[in-house]
């Protein structure tokens, strides 16, 4: 049995694996044949794992709409001695680095629970710190409401009272794609991999692990919408969009708040994905979310022809 086959079995049993590293997610955003996984076994059990995406020979990078991958350690094997546990994890990291397929370019975002990148540094990798925002406990909505900034609460009330907006679930994929595209148009950017996003939405809807919340006015106009996916340990904000002409209504804050409220019934925490864009970071922070630093670890460069190959693959 291959590591990938063993990993699929593990994903069917282990609920704590982040959604971005699950086999069905990787099948969707990477393609079944463009991702693989390295396993570190202790006897018959898996002590650590490292899924990776390789869209072309010699390239290991991040797939679309996937914030983090990297190495995950099985908490069952944690040692009570800190120094011994740290050394164990460093040895596993070195093992994975040496087993990675031959590559000229490597880039992966590691989950914020991964805190020691020294083995990668020792092997010539680089690191950039990025920031995520997480609500670690969404079980008490009253507390969440209190922790919202005055500005977010004011926008939510404005959306309801002044603009009479109502949030509805099950917004159609086509309607969501339209309003998502408006955001990119307003920023004068190309829409980011729309076919992958449509496939991802369809996949999570079929699995009953995601939905689209939209804020509509009395005339049926969609002001803003958010796409959120979930599993038991965490729900994740993946994408959103707003009508360029209706941005003052507070709709985005209302749609996000209603999505968080709903997923609190099925998930323990909420992950905003984070952003290095100042305006987006500010919006997430105002929901009372905690800042979580995570590592982007990289090595090498892509030559011109590899970049062309990747661009062609994205257009398919």
pLDDT of residue 298: 97
- The Cα 207–Cα 152 span in angstroms is 32
DSSP state of 160: I
Q: Which of 142-151, 170-179, 276-285, 300-309 has the lowest average pLDDT?
A: 300-309
Nearest to 238 by CA among 225, 220, 223: 225
Please state the rounded mean pLDDT for residues 80-109: 95
pLDDT of residue 208: 97
- The dotted CATH code for 3-131+293-315 is 3.40.630
- The Cα 73–Cα 172 span in angstroms is 38
pLDDT of residue 94: 98
**pLDDT one-digit tens code per residue, 241-288:** 999 899 899 999 999 999 999 999 999 999 998 777 787 888 899 999
- According to CATH, where is 3.40.630.30 located in the chain? 137-268
**pLDDT one-digit tens code per residue, 35-75:** 999 999 988 889 999 999 999 999 999 999 999 999 999 98
Is residue 131 exposed (0-12), middle (13-18) or buried (19+ Cβ within 10 Å)? Answer: middle
pLDDT of residue 277: 78
Fold of 137-268: Aminopeptidase (3.40.630)
Q: Is the pLDDT of residue 132 over 90?
A: yes
Q: Is the pLDDT of residue 303 over 90?
A: no
pLDDT of residue 78: 84
pLDDT of residue 304: 61
């Amino acid at each position: 049995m291959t590591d990938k086959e063993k990993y699929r079995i593990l994903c069917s049993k282990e609920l704590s694996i982040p959604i971005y590293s699950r086999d069905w997610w990787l099948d969707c955003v990477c393609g079944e044949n463009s991702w693989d996984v390295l396993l570190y076994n202790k006897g018959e059990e898996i002590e650590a794992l490292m899924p990776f995406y390789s869209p072309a020979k010699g390239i290991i990078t991040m797939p679309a709409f996937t914030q983090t991958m990297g190495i995950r350690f099985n908490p069952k094997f944690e040692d009570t001695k800190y120094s011994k546990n740290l050394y164990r994890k460093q040895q596993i990291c070195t093992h994975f680095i040496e087993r990675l397929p031959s590559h000229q370019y490597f880039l992966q975002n590691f989950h914020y629970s991964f805190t020691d990148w020294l083995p990668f540094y020792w092997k010539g990798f680089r690191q950039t710190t990025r920031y995520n925002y997480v609500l670690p406990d969404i079980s008490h909505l009253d507390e969440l409401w209190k922790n919202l900034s005055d500005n977010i609460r004011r926008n939510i009330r404005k959306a309801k009272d002044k603009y009479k907006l109502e949030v509805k679930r099950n917004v159609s994929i086509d309607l969501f794609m339209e309003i998502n595209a408006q955001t990119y148009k307003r920023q004068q950017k190309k829409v980011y991999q729309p076919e992958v996003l449509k496939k991802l939405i369809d996949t999570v809807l079929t699995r009953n692990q995601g939905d689209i919340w939209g804020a509509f006015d009395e005339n049926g106009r969609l002001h803003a919408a958010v796409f959120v996916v979930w599993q038991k340990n965490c729900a994740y904000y993946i994408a959103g969009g707003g009508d360029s002409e209706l941005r003052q209504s507070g709709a985005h804050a209302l749609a996000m708040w209603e999505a968080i409220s709903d997923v609190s019934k099925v998930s323990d925490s909420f992950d905003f994905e984070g952003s290095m864009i100042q305006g987006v970071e500010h919006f997430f922070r105002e929901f009372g979310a905690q800042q979580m630093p995570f590592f982007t670890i990289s090595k090498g460069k892509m030559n011109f022809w590899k970049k062309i190959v990747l661009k062609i693959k994205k257009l398919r």
